[in-house]
Amino acid sequence: MTRFYPSPEGLEGLDENLIYAQSWNDPDYWTKVEKKRVRCAEVLVPQLISPAYITGCYAGSSSVQASCLQVVGSLRIVINRSIYFNG
């Protein structure tokens, strides 16, 4: 079910509506499984990305935010629980 696409045209193969959906829940079990799978889409980068291109990140809780700030205190770290699986 998972597919791998070449870069950069592979980005066209991703369904943004499913990836950024507010919920992956569905009354149908297999539809829910598919929504969760798509929501976990990754972009694998074959080379190093300069930290200059990273402008911030999301954290699921204030404790994770605090841990991130200890490592990268100069980045904007926003708590956004809605983008993480919570059951």
Cα torsion through 24, 35, 49, 51, rounded to 10: 0
pLDDT of 87 > 60? The answer is no
Write down the H helix ranges in the chain: 16-19, 29-39, 62-71
Under 8 Å between Cβ of 56 and 77:
yes
Does 42 or 78 have the greater pLDDT score?
Answer: 78
pLDDT at 85 > cutoff 70: no
pTM: predicted TM-score of the whole model, two decimal places = 0.58
- pLDDT over 90 (residue 29): yes
At 81, is the pLDDT very low, low, confident or very high (cuts 50, 70, 90)?
confident
At 77, is the pLDDT very low, low, confident or very high (cuts 50, 70, 90)?
A: very high
Give yes or no for a cis peptide into 46 (omega within 30° of 0): no
